Copies of this chain bind each other. A is one copy, B any other.
Amino acid sequence: MAVRLDANDADFENAFSAFLTTKREAAADVAAQVAEIIADVRERGDAALADHTTRFDGLDLAKVGMRVAPEEIDSAFDTLDDAVVDALKLAARRIESHHARQRPEDDSYTDDLGVRLGHRWTAIEAVGLYVPGGTAAYPSSVLMNALPARVAGVERIVMVVPARAGNLNPVVLAAARIAGVDEIYRVGGAQAVAALAYGTPTIAPVAKIVGPGNAYVAAAKRQVFGTVGIDMIAGPSEVLVVADGENDPDWVAADLLAQAEHDAAAQSVLITDDADFAHAVERAVERQLETLDRAATASASWRDFGAVITVADFDTAMALANRFAPEHLELAVAEPDALVAKVRNAGAVFIGRHTPEAVGDYVGGSNHVLPTARSARFSSGLGVLDYMKRTSLLRLDADALRALGPAAMTLAEAEGLDAHARSIGVRLNL
């Protein structure tokens, strides 16, 4: 049973503040072990990869090969329903066309002093995509991570995925093929991250590593950060639903449970102005839990981290939502656009009664890799810009340097950097 808060209660502010800072995950401290694995891969390369893969995944890479063969990817399609392949293709098309709109523009202009300024965007040359093994392998995440990289123009996209007991999820392989990823290695864990960052004879290094993983993978990404770029370190997922009393309680309950089924540390929150509706949703959650495959996970999440908050009005609801800064924000109200305008901190907004968050997980077209744990206050979901970098351009001619140089020299001298000043002065005979 989720916690129940009323924004009109005298102690609400304390309760909500405590709720905001609740830690939902205790990070396992595997930093030292991960540091050893990384050092080993740097020193021994493929041999270290093979040893750690035997140890963690029970897999002999010498037998099956590190790289997944094209025929293996082909044959993955044989085991899949046409409906699944079609759905993957539909999702890929929609993700690709949505992300194509995010391609940034170069800039070049000359100002009134004759200084030419601008910037140019270029794709990162090589990117590594970590895909978890086993039940955490989400083919949709392969599409969501790989397709923006393709749209950005990344030339080389490398996928690593652990194959515990030798098995790879055929839907994951199909998603990789559909996303145009064909360099796939059956390695995982910190050892795979180390190989991507530093390279081995078999796996050439990349410049950035993205994708979710367990505590070992997260620790390894933190440790190689700087040598390569990394994406966010994702926490457990969350949804905040702002709903009026006119919703079908079963629809909203289903949305709360869709989040809760991800992980016992996931979080589902309902904010509504209608206490009767709140009760109805709570009852619907309990009822739906009875017939859910992942009921154990979902009920633990709802019990430990779920919340139902009643408010007097939607201004209050949106103020609380902005403080919560949810990964996913649903606005299930009669006039949602008025609330959209008030959103300040959220990874993604799902607008209106017919936009369950789950549609955005798969086929909406927007990205499902979004900032968790209140990081929507300062960061964005994954997109094309995460696979590009901007180089700034500056060009002065002799006249422009004469116009601007003396001010630069003044500031250089104020900072005690006389070689800076001289590099301008020597050109101006000053």
Q: Does A76 contact B (CB under 8 A)?
A: no
Provide the bound-state CA to CA distance between A415 and B138, in Å. 6
- The smallest C-beta distance from A101 to any residue of chain B, in angstroms, reads 6
Provide the bound-state CA to CA distance between A340 and B298, in Å. 55
Mostly, the A contact residues are mixed
Pair B258/A422 contact, Cβ less than 8 Å: yes
Pair A354/B401 contact, Cβ less than 8 Å: yes
Pair B407/A392 contact, Cβ less than 8 Å: no
Pair B358/A423 contact, Cβ less than 8 Å: yes
Provide the bound-state CA to CA distance between A427 and B332, in Å. 13
Most buried by B among A229, A298, A426: A426
Pair B260/A419 contact, Cβ less than 8 Å: yes
- The smallest C-beta distance from A424 to any residue of chain B, in angstroms, reads 6
Provide the bound-state CA to CA distance between A97 and B261, in Å. 49
Pair B228/A352 contact, Cβ less than 8 Å: no
Provide the bound-state CA to CA distance between A218 and B358, in Å. 39
- A317-358 toward B: CB 8 Å interface, digit per residue (1/0)? 000000000000000000010001001111111111111111
Pair A90/B394 contact, Cβ less than 8 Å: no
Most buried by B among A86, A116, A424: A424
Pair B424/A377 contact, Cβ less than 8 Å: no
Pair A393/B340 contact, Cβ less than 8 Å: yes
- The smallest C-beta distance from A42 to any residue of chain B, in angstroms, reads 11
Pair B257/A423 contact, Cβ less than 8 Å: yes
Residue A349 contacts which of B260, B355, B391 (CB distance < 8 angstroms)?
B391
Q: Does A412 contact B (CB under 8 A)?
A: yes
Provide the bound-state CA to CA distance between A155 and B421, in Å. 35
Residues of B within 8 Å of A359, CB to CB, are: 394, 396, 401, 404-405, 408, 424
Provide the bound-state CA to CA distance between A359 and B401, in Å. 8
Residue A84 contacts which of B258, B358, B363, B414 (CB distance < 8 angstroms)?
B414
Given contacts A356-B427, A362-B411, contact A417 B351 (CB under 8 A): no
Residues of B within 8 Å of A120, CB to CB, are: 343
Q: Does A398 contact B (CB under 8 A)?
A: yes
Residues of B within 8 Å of A226, CB to CB, are: 233, 373, 375
Chain A residues 380-430 with CB under 8 Å of chain B are 380-381, 383, 385, 389-398, 400-401, 404-405, 407-408, 410-412, 414-424, 426-427
Of A50-58, A61-69, A187-195, A287-295, the one touching chain B: A287-295
Given contacts A250-B426, A396-B359, contact A229 B293 (CB under 8 A): no
- A155-185 toward B: CB 8 Å interface, digit per residue (1/0)? 0000000000000000100000000000000
Residues of B within 8 Å of A414, CB to CB, are: 84, 87, 139, 171
For residue A298, which residue of chain B has the nearest CB?
A: B419
Q: Does A91 contact B (CB under 8 A)?
A: yes
20 of the cross-chain contacts (CB-CB < 8 Å) are: A86-B407, A88-B411, A90-B407, A91-B411, A122-B343, A125-B344, A138-B415, A229-B377, A293-B418, A353-B427, A354-B397, A355-B395, A358-B424, A359-B401, A361-B411, A361-B412, A363-B407, A376-B389, A380-B389, A383-B390
Q: Which 8 A-B pairs have the closest CB atoms?
A: A229-B378, A351-B395, A254-B423, A87-B407, A380-B390, A358-B420, A362-B408, A261-B419
